[in-house]
Chains A and B, each alone.
Chain A
């Protein structure tokens, strides 16, 4: 109870019971897993519709799909990695759509839960990206990748005492952690914000004297819903572009 509001505990906001599989099991399927499933189904349906009647002048779903792919290709891959990075486009497109659809469920009625407001999704995606850019580094530079990554060439030798631990922490520890936490924290914060204003609206609706404040609270709820749509897109973009930057930096020693 805060200022007379019955605010639900955070467990109630982010934890969901399994739809099948026992609680605590490794394969328990809950609402978050379902949203992840919808992410691949929705993305696949969108691409199938977009690819169904391909024309030189795109319209409808084809236009949406091509615009999205062109946005990632031109705005992320070519900007951060150049033409050599085109082979990583499928990974980055998958990442973008998986995160975007997972995030957008924050504002979809009857769901109202972004999949990435749970740490599991961002952590897995960050770990995959971490493994991926290390693999790319090994593929392009061989075992020297680790040396180049933690001891960049051109640095005065005396500074290696400082640079090596910093680069090691930055490249191999902080990067995946920051990727995961940034996405998770933003989506969780947005989710809590929307829940807070929803609870406030409900409470004000039932409290007769405070009902005068209800329109303001409701307006904030609507505005924040729009804001969260933007955040959903922005976080998908940020995660994808950072993944591209990390992969691109692994391709060449001088980066």
Chain B
């Protein structure tokens, strides 16, 4: 019997979520096929790539230090990052706000965010310091300061979703990220809770958890696959939010990326290892369902952009 293609096109689709305003705005999601299965039906929007810029000037590699050389402030780094051709949005990360670390004040963070908004014309995603309490406050204040910029705050967790949904989503109309750690039941529950607060499902993005390849990544794989299967084949509208996966923050922390060449001479350049770790993890996230990935290294961004372009 001759082979007849059986495209797997669903009647359900992933929500479209637009970040930013004006002609540089980007739209995530929208597809009614599994991620990257453009051969089944054209993807409404290609996967998007964000660049991760921390307020901490420390960089995990020589190449990144070179790239940001001469940039003294978060805004300068963000501007440099945003200027890269394939960057769709800039993710600024307030690592220094951590109360158990530098404990940078919220006022200083807001001032930084404002400076970034002035220096950058691409959409802005704001990531916190992982301290639930501080993040809730930080996201509310940044959301106020960046009104009209249509930013995404990354992200609300089980512990602080109320404050963030109210302070960023309801009060200032910003987009809300819902973060769970490779737990599909919690991912769904958070979406339900945030929508029950009054934030529309169309204004939510999910971070369902992330890991570097080799570091329990199978949980990320299964969570991504099961979320997409529920969203598309079961038309579960509590899981149809696009998925945004921070990859760089995970991959640039593992020894494969950071161990100096002197430690393992056979391993070769740390820069190359770091890039491949980021690229391979990102490719796997996209293969299993991420609608956007957030990366750190310009070479990784270039490569992932080539990959997704080739697949569309």
User: Do A and B truly interact?
Assistant: no
